[in-house]
Structure 1
């Protein structure tokens, strides 16, 4: 039976353990996701406490991370989502995403509504990918794709 968490403590502690064991074993997120049939982004988010994993995948990934049976069971629970508190993020990478939304949030909203109508972009029926490409001016660029299902507002 699928179980649900009532606070972020258990999955937060498990995320800490996942990162610690991933580091000790020198594993990448891609290596952990390999062979699961799920995306690197989804498995990463699950291990960071944002999604439940199906039992077989929790078992596979949990074994790679030397998790015990309770940890593997907790990977399958529905978490209390949202890893950031209400304050402005202080981590520089996360802050840049916050900054992007501060600068482009109203633009994204206007364009989504103009092209799709009144509604939202789902973060549940959602796909995320991060790609590294060469910058013609030197260095690299990050291509981040946020692919969420559009859900129209329905009058009632």
Structure 2
């Protein structure tokens, strides 16, 4: 089974059971963002979490095996050269579809404004190494019908 086939089976099961990513993540014991990214094929799950996911959604043994495989984290775009900027490119490539899935599940079909938008960058001191905290806050813009 490919990661694409795995994702299709997971999405069908999710829809048929009427569960949100948060519902599933709560039952599996992972964050909704990480679980969704694994289900979309950009991350893998450890055996215990994979088994819980398959039990919650009634998924096949093929999904159980495939979701534990390490993904190829690639996408087709020009690659930024600056290491700091590259990290955001990497984050978008790995979590972009996950963010879209969760935002649209919560708000509906639309986008986040980059005009009515704020970005906060904070430092969180940590004995294991200081952390960068980035908060993006944008107005939700629903697509309209006409």
Q: In which range does the TM-score fall when normalised by the shorter chain?
A: 0.5 to 0.7
CA distance in 2, matches of 1:25, 1:35: 13
Mapping of residues 21-60 of structure 1, within 5 Å: 21-60=13-52
Q: What are the Cα deviations for residues 23-65 of structure 1, in whole angstroms up to 9, with x where unaligned?
A: 1111111111114332100100100111100101000011122
CA distance in 1, matches of 2:28, 2:50: 9
Higher CA-based Rg = 1
TM-superposed deviation, 1:85: 4.9
1:20 corresponds in structure 2 to 12
2:65 corresponds in structure 1 to 73
4+ residue runs over 6 A deviation: 126-133, 141-145
TM-superposed deviation, 1:81: 2.3
Q: Give unpaired runs (5+ residues) of structure 1.
A: 1-8, 87-104, 114-118, 134-140, 151-156
Q: Give unpaired runs (5+ residues) of structure 2.
A: 108-115, 121-130, 133-146
In the superposition, the TM-score normalised over structure 1's length comes to 0.50
More moved, 15-24 vs 67-76: 67-76
CA distance in 1, matches of 2:117, 2:10: 25
The structure where helix makes up a greater share of residues is 2
Indicate conservation of the 8 Å contact 2:27/2:56, yes or no.
Answer: no
Q: CA RMSD in A?
A: 4.3
Aligned residue-pair number: 104
CA distance in 1, matches of 2:37, 2:28: 14
Tell me: CA distance 1:120–1:17, structure 2 relative to 1, closer, same or farther (3 Å).
closer
